[in-house]
Structure 1
Amino acid sequence: MATAIDVSRHLQCPICKNLFEDPVTMGCGHSFCQRCLHQHIRMSNQQCLLCQEPVYTRCSVNAALKAILQDFLHVQMADLSLYTGERGEIPCNICDENLPLRAVKSCLTCLLSYCERHLKSHQSLERHRGHKLVSPVERMDEKACRVHGRPLELYCKRDKRLMCTLCLKTGEDVVSLETERKEREAEQQNTIKGLESMTNQSENKLEDLQNNFKEYMAQIDREQREIKEVFAEVMDVVRRAEEDLLAPLEDGRRSLEKEEAEKTQQIKNKILKYREIIDQLNQNKNEQDDIYFLQSYPSVPAELKDDWTVSIDTELKFGSMKNINSSALVSIRTHLEKLFSFEVLIMDEETGNQSPELSQDGKKEEAK
C-alpha cells in the first residue's frame, strides 16, 4: 500500500510562507514566488535569500514546479474552504502551523481548537468524553488560569471571580460555571423583565409628554393669534382716532394758509399805495412855482391810519377732539379686556400634565 506524503511544506515560498504563485527556480536550486523574488531583489542585494548566491539572470517561471503545484491543489486541496486564510477564521491548534485547517470546535477543558479530523481523534479518547465543546473561540488563553495555566472551571461567590481547581482553598464558597450561569440567567431574565417594564412606563410617559406638548403648543399658537387680533383691532381704532383728530387740524391749516395769503396781499397793496403817495409828495415839494405846487398837490387822506388789525384766527375746537379721544379710549379698553382671559399653560416637569388654565370668563378650570 502506498504511503501518503505531505508535500505541502515543499510547495511554500520561503518569503511569503504561502503556496507558490508562479514559482521560479534560481541557479542555486531554491524556488520562490516570482513576485516575491523580484521584490526581494529590488529591496536588497541580488542574491538568494537562503544561500546568498548571486543572481545573474532574470529567472523564468518553473513550468514543472507549477504543474506539480496545480496537481497538488486539485488532488490534495479539492476543498479549499477547509483551510484558514480569511481574516477572523480560527485555525486548528493541532494542524501544521504552515497550513492549518479551519477549526470547527473549541474545547473549554483542553483550551484547544480542533478541525473536523482532529476533533474526531479528540472525541475518540475515553478521558475526553466529558469535555465541553463550543463553537470556535478566539484567544483560548484567556479562558485559562493565569497562575496555574489550567482551565477556569469554578466560580467563587465571595470574591466574584473565576478560578481553576488548583486555586480552590478550604472553606471557599465555590460553584461550577454551569451552576453560576443558571443563577445568572435567572437573574438576567428578571432584570430584562424589570427593564422592559420600566421601558414601557417611560414610553407611556414620553407619549403623554408629547401629547401635552402638542396641546400646549396649540394653546400658545391660539392665544398668539387672539392677541395679535386684539392688537390689530386696537391699532385700527388708534389709526381711525388719529385720522379723526388730524382731519380738523388739516382743515384749520388750510384755512389759516388761505387767510394768511389774503391778508398778506392786502397789506402789500396798502404798502404800494403809500409808496406812490410818498413819491408824488417828494416830487411836489421841489416845485418852485407856487401856483403849480398847489395845483399838483396830490390827494392825501385826511387821517393816515389803518382801519383794520392784522390777526389770524387760531382758535381750534378741542371739544370735538376730546369727544373723539374719549370714544377711542373706550373702544381700546374694550378690546384690551379680552386679554384678561388669557393664561399660558405650564406643563409639570415630572408628570407632563398641564397646570390650571383660565376660561374666557376669567375663572380657573382644573387641569385634565
Structure 2
Amino acid sequence: MSAASCLLTEDQFLCSICLDVFTDPVSTPCGHNFCKTCITQHWNINVPYQCPNCKQIFYSKPELQVNTFISEMAAQFRQSAQQKASSSSSEQQAAKPGEVPCDVCTGTKLKALKSCLVCLASYCETHLEPHLTMAGLKRHQLIDPVENLEDRMCTKHDKLLQLFCKTDQMCVCMLCTVSDHKTHDVVPLKEEYEGKKAELGKTEAETQQMIQKRRLKIQEIKRSVELSKEDADREIAGGVQVFSALKESVERSQAELIDTIKEKQRETEKQAEGFIKELEQEISELKKRSSEVEQLSRSEDHLHLLQSLPSLNAAPPTKDWTEVS
C-alpha cells in the first residue's frame, strides 16, 4: 500500500466539498468520493440528490458505506499533510487581529489569501492550493479574503447572492427571480455595482467642486476684509487731518468719529469671521462626506458597496453663498 500511495497525488485524497483529506470516505454510484458527513449534509440541503462533481442526479438517496481502502490511504495522506502543514506554518504568517483567518487550519489559524464564494470559506496558502490545481475547483470564484461569507447567501434559498433587484433595491439569488421577484427588474450584481460606483464617482466630483467653491469664497471674504481695513485706515487718516485744524473745538467729535469707524470695522471683521466659520464648517462636513464616498467608491466588494450605499449619509445642508460678499 505504501508503494502504491507514492504513485498517487494528494489531490486524489481531498474531499471536493470540505477540501480536506477524506474522513470516513464514501463512494457515490457515479464513482466519486466524499467525506460521509460532507455528502450527507450536502444532500440534506439539496434535493433532488446530485453529485457535486459530475452533477448526476439520483432520484432516491443512495445508501453510502465507508470505503475502507480509501479510508486507510487517506489516513496516510492526512498524516503526511499534517506534517507538511506543520513545517510550512512557521513560514506563513499567522492571522493577526483584524485579518481574515483560514477556515481550514487547525491550531494556529494562518492568514487567509483568498475567500471562495462557492465554498463560502477562506483559505491560507497551503489550503488554497486545491483551488489552483484541481480542475473542479478552478471554476470557483475567488476574491480577496472577507469575513462573514454567510452574509453573501440568500437567507431564504441558501444560494449565492449574485443578482440585484432594481424594483425592491436588494440583492437576490437565482431562485428569488422565479419566486418573490419573478416580474421584477433584475440585473447581474456586477452591472448594478458598476452603475452605483459611477454614481459615487459623480457625487465625489460634485462634492469636491462644492469644497473648491467655498475655498474661493473664503479667499474673497478675506480680501474684502483687507480692502475694508484699508478703507478704514484712509478714513481715519482723513478725519485726523480735517479735525486737526480745529483741534480744540472739535476734539471730542474727532474721537467719536474714530470710535464709530473702528466699531464699523470690528463689526465687518466679526461678520467676516462668522462667514468664514460657517464656510469652514461646511467644508469639514463636505470633506467627511467626500471621504465616505471615496472610501466606498474604491471598494471592489460588489455586495458591500451595494448594501452600504443606502446607509450613506445624505449630503449635509449647505448655504447658498452666491449673494454673500
Give the TM-score of the pair, scaled to structure 2: 0.47
Larger Rg: 1
Give the TM-score of the pair, scaled to structure 1: 0.42
Structure with larger RCO (C-alpha < 8 A, sep 6+): 2
